């Protein structure tokens, strides 16, 4: 994780997330990015090489998240991901929520997968 991260803050900007991805192109080495949106939202567009765990399944899947690596949650605009990050912080994870969600990521010109993907309405 980059030294410029303030771990006391739960919200991080998409440019920080993009920087971490650039520093750690191997999805197994850098921070874990987890999309907590609904399946139909994920199918419409998502950040490449990220994991999908719908918010309603997150508690059941918590044991599958690596405690030794930071985790960044994202959703459409940041509300669901902030709830996820707060819960994981209570459980002693280094957890963050991407400020502005996938909408901000896309609005700032970053790519979505699959090619031509878009941010679905929730």
pLDDT digits (tens, 9 = 90+) for 89-119: 999 999 999 999 999 999 999 999 999 999 9
Distance, C-alpha 111 to centroid of its chain: 14
Q: What pLDDT sits at residue 42?
A: 98
Question: Is pLDDT of 17 > 50?
Answer: yes
Query: What is the Cα–Cα distance from 26 to 90, expressed in whole angstroms?
Result: 27
- In this prediction, residue 26 has a pLDDT band, given cuts at 50, 70 and 90, of confident
- In this prediction, residue 1 has a pLDDT band, given cuts at 50, 70 and 90, of very low
Among 14, 35, 15, which residue's Cα sits nearest to residue 81? 35
Per the CB < 8 A criterion, the answer to whether 98 and 20 are in contact is no
Is 35 in a helix, a strand, or coil? strand
Per the model's pLDDT, the better-predicted residue between 25 and 59 turns out to be 59
Question: Is pLDDT of 14 > 70?
Answer: yes
* pLDDT per residue as tens digits for the range 51-77: 999 999 999 999 999 999 999 999 999
């Amino acid at each position: 994780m980059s030294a410029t991260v303030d771990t006391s803050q739960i919200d991080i900007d998409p440019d920080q997330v993009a920087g971490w991805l650039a520093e750690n192109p191997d999805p197994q080495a850098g921070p874990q990015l987890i999309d907590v949106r609904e399946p139909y939202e994920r199918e419409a567009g998502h950040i490449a090489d990220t994991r999908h765990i719908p918010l309603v399944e997150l508690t059941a899947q918590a044991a599958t998240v690596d405690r030794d690596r930071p985790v960044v949650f994202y959703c459409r605009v940041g509300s669901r991901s902030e709830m996820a990050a707060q819960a994981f912080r209570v459980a002693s994870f280094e957890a963050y929520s991407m400020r502005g969600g996938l909408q901000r990521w896309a609005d700032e010109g970053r790519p979505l997968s699959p090619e031509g993907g878009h941010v679905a309405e929730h």
